[in-house]
Chains A and B, each alone.
Chain A
């Protein structure tokens, strides 16, 4: 400890490292660690069989599949289309650009229940959008597809807002240089632009994914909540609470938290790897 501190001290130019580190740890503990450990502690009141029963019953497992699957799909779609949106907003000038830019933040600001009700109205069989899918035999609202739609909606700003500053740093000269060196458009995108964007894209993806995992308010209106089909994990947590089964509810929460933590850790590692690789290339 002392060794590492003196090591760190030697490298820092700014004063106040100890104070800043102490404050950071205290703040993180109060805001993140204490509430989370409360959840973990509550779970420990359960015996192993009871814990297993709470977190691994078929209905709960079905909800993990839906929650993680739909969140992953939504985050992937957002990563692709969020990149396009960010690109257009940074690189092109068009009328009302500022307005469009502000629109991106709306899913952040809108109460999730409002988003859920609005999306359900649009995508149900008699809604503006939903009615066009009925002849195709495709139902969106009240199916897992509806869950995916809601999660895509709430996740978009995360990708766009993390990519924008990086894209702004990326000057058009870089692309011109690539072109003068003989790269075609695809090569420029795949070998020059994408590697630079990858770390930010991964961050945006991870944020959108994490946000989707915990989402309750908007999904609950559009999901239909059919057991084994369209129940999300947060709904089952609420269901447990309704039975005053605090321990069972936190048990599911702990499983979700652990899984999310592992996934986010993996994405962060991937991002660090991408950044190193990019550093090596540049």
Chain B
């Protein structure tokens, strides 16, 4: 970071940014370039593992990006977001087992099922606030988790292998690792673009206004609960897509996909990267997964080191890694 910026002039989340290549923008562009050329690197070096690892980063980043929509922009801290990964995954896995391999059916079902689940959870949990909201979203996710454990036909506790990835009638072959990687990458970019449009639209401003001062929004004349609910459903649907991708990536579904620790990981990824920033969740996910991967090579207990790191970020860095790149400190 070469420039020191007067904090009063720092463009904030809610103020239109100046058109200048900030360290933050430069980092984001660099990361996107790395992601765009990763398959080339993997082919040249013959390192297939790096492609698998980054496919995982990108899929989970879609989940984190969707969580950021409700948590970062909407102020709704959902502690059950992994449930959508599971629902999206199980939609693909169950349909595959029942002989419906077409992605044109599987993926819309994954998205619709997640949206429906979000509608039910949101309708009930959005009546509460703060800790209660967190606990209710967690409780629903745990319920979904135990339901999948009870699905004996689909592997129960052990999970279910998926023999055939989603079929798109020759349009794209998901067994081709590079093709699958690029599909995930494009979908991630589409999701980020959608969120960018949404948060700056009238709808998005209502949701953000409700985060900052819900009481005033209602006094002005916005029935905020219904806007928040729609936002919650959009995020759920988006994460359901990530679940469908994840099932295709691992060729396997299991209740562990929606374990509460996975929901916690998603929150960590968002906070680590930068709450309420467009690319923050992607940066957070990449950092989290790569650190976890690197640490697990040198120690048996990667969380022992990840934990303190997160603590430092939470205590000293306002706005996660994105905030750090901006030179914002608390």
| A and B bind | no
